Amino acid sequence: MSSTLDLSGSTVTLNDDTTYTYYQVTDTSGSHNGTLILSEGTILEFDNKASAGFASAGSAITMNINGLKANNAQIRSADPSPTYDWSMPATTTYIDAEWCEFEHQTGSTSANYWGFSNCLFVGDRYISVDEMLETLNVTIEPIPLGRLIEASDRQIKTKLARLEVGAPTSDDKLKEASLHLTTAMLLTRYRMDGTKPSSLSLGSFSMSDNVDLAIKELKDYAWELVDSYALTHGTYDRYRWKFRKVND
């Protein structure tokens, strides 16, 4: 188990582009009012353990999170698929956060003294931002790309829910569907705002192709994968009908 960061009424600044791993962040001073500052590119991770995260003793701490669009801060579990989510701070704390991604958290995400600007609270995703960036080899800010992934995954989960089919984020077929559907959204964004990267390719799809056609084919393939998954994982009875044309 990692150590606990005790602010003890003082100000602690976590450095740029550095990952810190703790079991808890707390403040055992009499006023419980220390300050924690996260900088651009700072990653604060919590152990995958029960009661990890912000301890109740830090009831009046201040958090200033100063991420940038091109280099956001993150607060997440140290385990990419944690058994235990980390606890958000008490609602009596003060938070001023800009360009920060929160993942694997439990507890409230809003309170009277909390301000979030261009932040993202990550849901269960089929594919991560890092996986998208590595696959496409394209430059885009992580939080805007994360929003596209979240939008794609909501569409996939909505369709599967209508079909009464479970939607585990570990399934490879659904991960592939999310990758293609998110890429279609990314191409749509480039088409709408008039920008595009120097290169972007995914399998047989490329920015050098007709963009409208590439978007359609990416979406079609994504939904084919979702339909294929639903057919093999649904709990309802499935029947195959065959039609034969006969001569009059």
Domain that holds residue 165: 129-233
| Domain end point (choices 67, 88, 121) | 121
What's the structural domain count of the chain? 2
Report the DSSP beta bridge partners of residue 73.
100
Residues 133 and 67 in one domain: no
Contact status, residue 78 vs residue 47, Cβ threshold 8 Å: yes
Report the pLDDT value the prediction gives residue 211, as an integer from 0 to 100: 76
Please give the pLDDT value at position 46: 98
- 105 and 202 co-located in one domain: no
* 14 and 112 share one domain: yes
At 243, is the pLDDT very low, low, confident or very high (cuts 50, 70, 90)? very low
Residues above pLDDT 70, as percent of the chain: 88
Whether residue 240 is contained in a domain is answered as no
Query: Which of 86, 93, 128, 127 is closest to 110 using CA atoms?
Result: 93
Structure tokens that stand for 174 in this block? 């659904």
169 Cβ contact list (under 8 Å, min separation 6): 124, 125, 126, 175
State the DSSP H helix or E strand holding residue 148, giving kind and residue range, or none if neither: helix 142-162
pLDDT > 50? residue 21: yes
Q: Model pTM greater than 0.85?
A: no
Domain-embedded: residue 241 = no
Q: Are residues 73 and 98 in the same domain?
A: yes
- Taking only the tens place, the pLDDT of each residue in 96-128 is 999 999 999 999 999 999 999 999 999 888 998
